[in-house]
Amino acid sequence: MSARRTRNLQTSCRRRPHHRRERGPLTNFERLPDRHNTLVPDAVVFDLDGLMIDTERLDWQAAKAVGAAYHIDLDDDFLRRTIGRRLVDVQPEFERRFAHAVGWDDFAREIRAWREEAVARVGALFGRMHAAAIGDDVAEGKPAPDIYLLAVKRLGVPADRCLALEDSLPGVESAERAGLTVIMVPDLVPPHGGIRYVCPSLLGVRDWLAA
């Protein structure tokens, strides 16, 4: 799989049998389903960028560096709005604001070059997954549900029997619209009060699943 085609990639795996173990009480930063009243999901769908690998900080640093090279100010508000979105979905706003200084193709090419090495590191994980869905394979990016609908279709598991793990607000909305239960594991953007389930780390989700 090309490292260039990784924006909004979902890696998906079926749950394997596990030994249950006791888990301590929730922290102040967690909102998780009650495990005693929640069925163990048949599959877990992982977001990639910002969750499985730290590409969002990399993208942020890359955008700042590339912007500085072209003498444009990619402000923090603009960069926050790009989190969880495909590059192609960012293009219209970028061109509206910065086309006078740099062409989109040149900017996007440099951003992709920055992230190739980081994305390559996750390649070993793909062999442990049962399916993958890539943002380039769907008509609409997040927050549209397309990518999660494709992921569960490729898994062959009903959406309501899948758990999605997401770090971005558009990603949470996308998974919810597709009918999955979603736990947000925040990275650069904190959850707001409307996010139903939150856990500060993937290790916390692992412990919750194993409880």
Euclidean distance between CA atoms 184 and 110, whole angstroms: 29
Q: Element (H or E) spanning 95, and its range?
A: helix 87-98
Contact, 41 vs 15, CB < 8 A?
yes
pTM above 0.75, yes or no: no
Closest CA to 206 of 53, 18, 42: 18
Contact, 168 vs 176, CB < 8 A?
no
Which of residues 14 and 47 earns the better pLDDT score? 47
CATH superfamily of 10-53+121-210: HAD superfamily/HAD-like (3.40.50.1000)
Domain boundaries, the chain: 10-53+121-210, 55-120
Mean pLDDT of 136-165: 95
Q: What is the pLDDT of residue 59?
A: 79
Least reliable range by pLDDT among 41-45, 51-55, 191-195? 51-55
82-86, 99-103, 116-120, 174-178: range with highest mean pLDDT: 174-178
